[in-house]
């Protein structure tokens, strides 16, 4: 090992020995992440195909936009430690369902269920788990429709089923969730009880607006 490489390795170790050890499984880890990146592409393509088809047939777009991300090593480590799972590449694939995540943002609540239904019907998709935080919001007011699905990805010499987490929500729910996440950790001196109370009220107001907008759309589309 050259001096320069030795210094780099020491540097990583100094910052965080656990992250250093985790990154040392580099090749295996990079290959796994490549597989998840490919799974994201598969799911995003499926969603775009559905959106294009509906926009041509019914002249409306159920999906406003799609975001995707691969979970960071820090976030994976944190989750595995919280769940008491040994940190190995094999365990990441086995136990962490949301390494690959897609967020689908719709204008209307009905579109969320329509997209979820159309995706679930596809014969190469296996739905592993559904959490409906719209029908059953979290106590803090969080609303979103979550699915863990498995999609086959075709590589040069194999076909591998890969898990992807899909979160489907309205623009308003997405605005609330993004801000709640940031506001909660912004100022440790703030009165958290008061802030959580206000956030819950906002989540309930947002839900009322989403339901009213859905109602208006139902009336407009009824006689078309
Ligand atoms: P990040 O950075 O978004 O990835 P499971 O998948 O069933 O093993 P988990 O992970 O608890 O268990 O699943 P859940 O509850 O279906 O979804 C977790 C993800 O939903 C979170 O990911 C957030 O993205 C989102 N989420 C859940 N609850 C809340 C909430 O109260 N507020 C906000 N803003 N987002 C929430 P991560 O891993 O926390 O982070």
Q: CATH code at 86? A: 3.30.460.10
Nearest protein CA to atom 31 of ligand 1, as residue:
142
Position 187 in a domain: no
Q: Which domain holds residue 105?
A: 3-173
Is 165 annotated in the active site? Answer: yes
Alpha-carbon distances of 212 from 106, 108, 205, 207, rounded to whole Å? 15, 10, 11, 9
**Structural domain contains residue 119:** yes
The verdict on residue 78 lying in a domain is yes
> Count of domains in the chain?
1
In a domain, 193, yes or no: no
Q: What is the distance of C-alpha 155 from the center of its chain?
A: 24
How far, in Å, CA of 64 to CA of 54, rounded?
A: 12
User: Residue 148 phi/psi, 5° resolution?
Assistant: -105, 120
Express each pLDDT in 94-119 by its tens digit. Answer: 999 999 999 999 999 999 999 999 99
Cα 141 to Cα 203: distance, rounded to the nearest angstrom = 5
Whether residue 98 has its Cβ less than 6 Å from ligand 1 = yes
C-alpha distance from residue 193 to each of 69, 138, 187, 189, 197 (Å): 31, 16, 13, 11, 6
Q: Which of 90, 165, 180, 194 is catalytic?
A: 165
Confirm whether 205 is domain-assigned. Answer: no
pLDDT > 70 in the chain, percent: 91
- Which residue among 98, 134, 169, 184 has the greatest number of ligand 1 atoms within 8 angstroms of its CB, and so is best to mutate? 98
In this structure, which long-range contacts are made by residues 210-213, counting pairs with CB atoms below 8 Å and at least 24 apart in sequence? Answer: 210/108, 210/109, 210/170, 210/172, 210/173, 211/109, 213/107, 213/108
Going from the Cα of 165 to the center of ligand 1, the distance in angstroms, rounded, reads 10
pTM of the predicted structure, to 2 decimals: 0.88
CB 147 within 8 A of CB 129: yes
Q: What average pLDDT score do residues 47-75 get?
A: 94
Q: pLDDT category, 72, cuts 50, 70, 90? A: very high
Instruction: Examine residue 194 and state whether it is found in any structural domain, yes or no.
Output: no
pLDDT tens string 161-220: 999 999 999 999 999 999 998 887 777 777 888 999 999 999 999 999 999 999 999 999
The answer to whether position 40 is within a domain reads yes
Residues 12-35 pLDDT 10s: 555 677 776 666 678 888 999 999
Examine residue 156 and state whether it is found in any structural domain, yes or no: yes
């Amino acid at each position: 090992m050259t001096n320069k490489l030795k210094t780099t390795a020491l540097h990583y170790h100094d910052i965080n020995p656990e992250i250093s050890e985790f990154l040392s499984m580099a090749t295996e880890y990079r290959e796994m992440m490549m597989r998840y990146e490919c799974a994201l592409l598969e799911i995003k393509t499926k969603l775009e195909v559905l959106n294009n088809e509906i926009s041509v047939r019914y002249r409306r777009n159920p999906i406003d936009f799609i975001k995707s991300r691969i979970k960071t090593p820090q976030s994976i480590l944190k989750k595995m430690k919280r769940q008491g799972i040994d940190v190995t590449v094999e365990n990441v694939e086995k136990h962490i369902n949301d390494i690959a995540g897609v967020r689908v943002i719709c204008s209307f609540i009905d579109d969320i269920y329509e997209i979820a239904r159309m995706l679930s019907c596809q014969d190469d998709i296996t739905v592993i788990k559904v959490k409906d935080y719209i029908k059953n919001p979290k106590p803090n007011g969080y609303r979103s429709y979550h699915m863990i699905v498995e999609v086959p990805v075709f590589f040069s010499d194999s076909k591998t089923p890969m898990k992807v987490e899909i979160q489907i929500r309205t623009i308003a729910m997405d605005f609330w969730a993004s801000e709640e996440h940031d506001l909660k950790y912004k100022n440790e001196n703030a009165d958290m009880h008061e802030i959580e109370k206000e956030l819950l009220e906002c989540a309930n107001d947002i839900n009322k607006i989403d339901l009213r907008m859905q109602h208006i759309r139902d009336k407009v589309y009824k006689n078309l």
